[in-house]
Amino acid sequence: MTLLDPKLPQAGLAGSFINGAWHRPADGRTLTIENPSRRAPICEVGRGTATEIDLAVQAARAALPAWRAMAASERGKLLSELGRRLEENAEEVARVLAAESGNAVKTQSRGEAMGAAGVLNYYGGVAVEQKGETLPLGPGILSYSTREPHGVVGSIIPWNSPLQLGAVKISMALATGNCLILKPAEDAPLAILKLVELAEGLFPPGVFNVVTGLGEEAGAALANHPGIDKVSFTGSSEVGKLIAHSAADRIAKVTLELGGKSPTIVFPDAIAEGRLETTAQQVANAMRFARQGQSCTAGSRLFVHKDIWDELMPKVVEKSASLNVGDALDPDVDMGAVVNAERYGEIREFVAEAEALGATFLLGETPAEDPEGFTPNPTILSGVDNTWRIAREEVFGPVMVAIPFETEAEVVEMANDTHYGLAAFLFTHDVSRITRLTRAIDAGWIQVNQGGGQIPGMSYGGTKQSGMGCEYSIEGALEAYTYRKSVTINIESHP
């Protein structure tokens, strides 16, 4: 089968889109973007640094007064128009996304392109819902509140879901009247550059800026810049802590969506009355195998009640093993590649360490040392203790650990025995148990009897070291991207 290469962004070598125009790095340096499925270069993009970040901040600050004064409904129309353009070009953008990220076009990249368009359309529609309040203080006094943008936002996104997360950052910042500098992931900036091409001429110059580059250069310069009023970051907890420290020095506002080690808990009644096949499929979905496990919400710790272990686990293995693994651009492939050699090597180390400790493979094996493509197979391990590193740290690969349990108290203790608190998945049809456990489990988002993804309009965020702030909803945007301004007016005449 011949796989057609995607149409790459024409302005990729420039890398930076600043003040409404493409901008090549001042020092001329570039980054090589590789296809992880093929372990082959795709193209080069500009390697922006503090110089480009400073230019983008200056442009954003100059554009801010007019943009924040624009009616929210007008800002919303522009976001909706960008969503429409993305929908019309979704297939082309999806192929670029698959090539750079390793996420299969069949199961992931095509859906992500349409999902990103949905996010833009959602915020375009709800932009007008930035309403204040009035306070009855008595005759002669008018007191009311408004929502005001923080100013200039610096957003940094990762490579695992760059287009969807980029759409969220763009929408939340711009809908609420902020100007934006977006720093894409250094391994996967091309789909964002395609989106920028679609946005050319749409927003006033300086409102929406993009700088490609390394995290330690462009990313750090963005997070540390004194002209940035708010930083929004999605990525690892380690980098999130650095950003939070940097922002604290100048009291800049911060939103952090960080890592997770999400528990999936299955009780016996979840497979009763003909539900075995459905539950097994949803458990596999929660693990995000089709995204190579590269999801901070992946249900990578599977806790199965001992009474149904022998019945459920073979079905979960069967569902997971049925995925076709290969080149992300192949229309028949379900699961593509992890993003780079470093990530592949870390996954291999996690699995090899667990195997050495005595873990048993229910599915998969320790990944090969030098593969043709960075495509580890779905892996499910048993015989793992909840205290092992593979059960406590974020593998960010297609690796699930399965652990039996007996009681509610036991499984809640194991589920919460982590410094993460992002997502959780609960499988039971006992309403009382659902009520108890959804209150007892430390997570910002709990799904019951399903393993789906985020939906626009649903506030999404974590607790503990999984971050601060919420995204995906208008409430999250108002809380994180605006501040409340109170106004009190004495309207009585005075001599």
Active site residues: 257, 296
- Taking the CA atoms of residue 187, residue 341, residue 214 and residue 114 in that order, the dihedral angle to the nearest 10 degrees is 20
Q: How far apart are CA 233 and CA 158, in angstroms?
A: 9
Angle, helices 72-88 vs 190-199, to 10°: value is 120
Structure-block tokens of residue 120: 């833009």
**247-267 per-residue burial string, b: 16 or more CB within 10 A, e: under 16:** beeeebbbbbbbbbbbbbbbb
Q: How far apart are CA 441 and CA 438, in angstroms?
A: 6
- Nearest Cα neighbor of 113 from 140, 131, 138, 92 is 92
Strands of the 152-156 sheet, one edge to the other: 21-23, 16-18, 208-210, 179-183, 152-156, 230-234, 253-257, 467-468
Report how far apart the first and last C-alpha atoms of the chain are (Å, whole number). 87
Task: Give the other-Cβ count within 10 Å of 131's Cβ.
Answer: 10
Owner of token pair 């959602």: 122
- Nearest Cα neighbor of 272 from 447, 434, 427 is 427
Give the rounded distance of the alpha carbon of 301 from its chain centre.
20
The single-letter DSSP state of residue 231 is E
Q: How far apart are CA 330 and CA 1, in angstroms?
A: 8
Residue type, 428: T
Task: Give the other-Cβ count within 10 Å of 357's Cβ.
Answer: 13
Residue type, 484: R
Residue 491: phi and psi, rounded to 5, are: -95, 5
Residue 46: phi and psi, rounded to 5, are: -65, 140
Structure-block tokens of residue 75: 């800002």
Judged by DSSP in three states, 75 sits in helix
List beta partners, residue 142. Answer: 489
Q: How many CA atoms lie within 13 A of 199 on its CB side?
A: 33
Residue type, 366: T
Owner of token pair 């009291």: 251
C-alpha distances in Å from residue 164, one per residue of 70, 75, 136:
26, 20, 42
